[in-house]
Amino acid sequence: RSRLVEEHHRRKGDPSIGGSTRQRPIMTAYRQEAIACAAAMADGPKRPRDLKALSPRAASILLHNYYGWFARAERGIYALTELGHAAVLSDGVSPL
């Protein structure tokens, strides 16, 4: 129960207007943070500490790369992949 309440508190707004279907992925707090990181990286590669203000889990999000949006450009620097650019454009979001 505590994990569910924590997930609810980390979410920003209510992105699932009118319920959800399987056509669009479920918007979790993790996905919101990943989108915020990707949107911030749209102008170029960044370090995890540059994204820490947007998401405390930025380093973990970039390292584990669950959605395939990030690629390691060099040591400690990450860039967006084509999937990442498409995710930022399709969700129409800006950094949090």
Q: Is pLDDT larger for residue 1 or for residue 7? A: 1
Which pTM value belongs to this model? 0.73
Q: What is the third-level CATH fold of 2-13+25-91? A: Arc Repressor Mutant, subunit A (1.10.10)
User: What pLDDT sits at residue 32?
Assistant: 85
In whole angstroms, what is the distance from residue 73 CA to residue 22 CA?
33
pLDDT of residue 37: 93
**Closest by Cα among 95, 46, 96 to 70:** 46
Residues 17-37: what's their mean pLDDT?
74
- List pLDDT tens digits, range 60-78: 999 999 999 999 999 999 9
**Domain edges within the chain:** 2-13+25-91
Q: What angle do CA 50, 15, 24 make, to 5 degrees?
A: 100
**Mean pLDDT value across the chain:** 81
